[in-house]
Amino acid sequence: MEFYEAINRRSSVREFSGEAIPEETIKRIIEAAYKAPTNDHFRDWHFIVVTDKALMADVLSGVPQNLTVKDVDKMTFISDPVQKESYQFAVPKQYSMLVNAAAVIIPLMKKKVDILHPADLSHLNCFASVWCSIENLWLAATAEGCGCNLRIPQGNEEENARKATGFPEEYMIPCFIGIGIPADNAVRTKQLVPDMEKQIHWQKF
């Protein structure tokens, strides 16, 4: 797939065909993640790939399973109709979009700083780097004909995943990634289209 085609085709996929993804394909996709820029050159990231459905259920046991459109409507900060429609579709699928994926990929990064209380922006370099790797992974997955979604852990979700997979305390999860072959009827939610004439500034704002 041509590079800009992959960028334009990449979008969150929350409904999958049930088809497995070959191990070699997943390896290629994760290898692309390691090509991302990194703040310290070490690329000290690890990726746990979970395909066993029983283990996947354990990993995701903290993810809410019964969210509804009414739960979304209680989020009073959502006023834009396109954003609201997207949330109404996506939020109730937070569990199913992961547990029904061919695999859940868990990126891991070392806890080098307090991400939630950085001393300055440079302390977030390690966090920014792992997200660059996640974007590479998504684009590679798209180029391979796969689709992805993600969820940032909340509450006890990270600890449940740690107990299920045994990763060390010095690592944290930036997100869970569900990956699979998109279902034929997979819904791609509407996106707000940026006004390039207003949002690109030459020389001055």
pLDDT in tens, 165-201: 999 999 999 999 999 999 999 998 888 899 999 999 9
**What local confidence, expressed as pLDDT, does residue 24 receive?**
98
pTM: 0.94
Task: Count Cβ atoms within 10 A of the Cβ of residue 14 and give its class: 0-12 exposed, 13-18 middle, 19 or more buried.
Answer: buried
Query: What does DSSP assign to residue 124?
Result: G
pLDDT band at 112, cuts 50/70/90?
Answer: confident
For CA atoms 30, 31, 35, 38, give the dihedral sign: positive
Alpha-carbon dihedral 76, 12, 109, 60, rounded to 10 degrees: 80
Band of pLDDT at residue 20, cut at 50, 70 and 90: very high
Percent share of the chain, pLDDT over 90: 77
Consecutive H or E run containing 52? none
69 Ramachandran zone, left/alpha/beta (phi>0; psi -120 to 50): alpha
In tens, the pLDDT along 68-111 reads 888 888 876 778 888 888 989 999 999 999 999 999 999 999 98
Q: How far apart are CA 103 and CA 53, in angstroms?
A: 9
